Chain A
Amino acid sequence: MDDLVLSSIATRQDDIISIDRLIEWFDISEEDVGNLQSLTEIADDVADDTIDAFYEHILKFEEAAAKFADGATLERVKAGQKRYFRELVHCELGENYLEERRRIGQIHERAGIGPSLYIGAFGFYLQRLARSLQDQNALDSEQALSRFLSLVKVAHLDMAQALETFVGAREATIERQQNEISDLPTPVLQLREGLLLIPVVGAVDGRRARRLTIELLDAIREKRARAVVLDITGVSAVDSAVANNLIQTMAAARLMGAYPVLTGVKPDVAQALVKIGVNESSLNTSGELQSGIRAAESRIGA
């Protein structure tokens, strides 16, 4: 069950490493955990001061001030941050902890809080805590240092988790946007009997080009097309792989017996085509849609 929850939270499945492995990786020993837990009281004392000072500090920056425009939000975030730091020193490193850290990474990503702000806040807190450790009369400097070093270890583990999720969430967003591009529909229109028109609009990536190919070839068979006009006036840019794909589509259309016409080729597309060694003859290119349709019509005798 824990695994299930985890995998739904962490966006990149591959990055899910068990907490035991992480503890090993960050070299966190029982002693470190003990060290941290002995800091609970100090940390609680420091937390309020630190957080107040921290927000005083960041509210000097316009972009941060805009995020915490109303007082209620600020209080809520402060309370959340206090809990966050308390969990850090309580140091109950289990699957629940991991899950929580990953969730927090996602919240940061959604709220548009970048790594600089997040790590900045962390650094600010660590410095404050280091100072107050030094000021503890009960600890000699060796003890204070070893406690601080334990804190640094766990803090890094902690930051790593939040950042993993942060990056994962970003990647998921990018992937989703890419899929949206790939899923842009490309209608195959029947202009008249035997003549198909495919207006391609927007960005074309490899996946979209492949789907276009299949849809076009199927439409040729279904509609008994004798000519197809592929209009790429609305295509912003093609790389050579996609250009190659378009050419292959047209060659395949011809094999099926449909006369292919390519229209609306722009200068950069023309260059991409030349680069992959296409000569104009097999494409029956026509400057604009209108003349392309005319060429196709005269070909099929319409």
Chain B
Amino acid sequence: MELVPILRQGDVLIISIMTALSDKDILHLQNRVLDKTCKSGVTGVVVDVSALDVIDSFSSKTIIDMAHAVRLLGAQTVVVGIQPEVALAMVLLGLTISDVPTALDLDLGIALLKEGRPHAAE
């Protein structure tokens, strides 16, 4: 059984990371997400980290890489639920993931993807 489930809601993939992942686990997750994005043709990916009280530099970097790769596959990534302490710690470590959109929670993250979609008007 996989450590992190990848759920599909409409044309958005929802990845809810509930526990701190090892380097190996997060790389595995990255592969699965890219695979699934490609196969399912979704337009958005939401990574929910609200359950994490620490995000290490490798995880941050992997999430950024994944977001870039997702964009190349034609979809958008939003990271949601970074907690205040985590945000501050990440900033102090220089992990600002500045080119990946963020949102407060899943709800706002999905809303952001809808707003940002190229065909939002329809």
Binding site for B on A (CB under 8 A): 213-214, 217-218, 220-221, 224-226, 248, 251-258, 282, 301
* Given A217-B84, A220-B104, A225-B104, A255 and B91 contact (CB-CB distance below 8 Å): yes
Given contacts A224-B108, A257-B103, 4 further A-B contacts (CB under 8 A): A213-B88, A214-B88, A224-B105, A254-B96
Give the A-B pair count, Cβ closer than 8 A: 63
Residue contact B102 to A257, C-beta cutoff 8 Å: yes
Considering only residues 60-95 of chain B, those with a C-beta below 8 Å from chain A are: 79-80, 82-84, 86-88, 90-92
Residue contact B102 to A221, C-beta cutoff 8 Å: no
Q: How far is the CB of A196 from chain B (nearest CB, A)?
A: 12
Residue contact B91 to A257, C-beta cutoff 8 Å: no
Can you report 17 residue pairs joining A to B where beta carbons are below 8 Å apart? Answer: A213-B88, A214-B84, A217-B87, A218-B84, A224-B104, A224-B105, A226-B108, A251-B87, A251-B91, A252-B84, A252-B87, A252-B91, A253-B87, A254-B102, A255-B79, A255-B97, A256-B83
* Interfacial chain A residues near B91, Cβ < 8 Å: 248, 251-252, 255
**Which residue of the partner chain B has the closest CB to A250?**
B91
* Interfacial chain A residues near B109, Cβ < 8 Å: 257
Q: How far is the CB of A38 from chain B (nearest CB, A)?
A: 68
* Given A214-B84, A256-B84, A251 and B108 contact (CB-CB distance below 8 Å): no
* Interfacial chain A residues near B92, Cβ < 8 Å: 248
* Smallest CB-CB A-B distances: 10 pairs: A217-B84, A257-B103, A252-B87, A255-B87, A257-B104, A257-B102, A248-B91, A251-B91, A252-B91, A255-B82
* Given A217-B88, A218-B84, A255 and B102 contact (CB-CB distance below 8 Å): yes
Bound: A194/B18 CA distance, A: 26
Most buried by A among B84, B86, B88, B112: B84
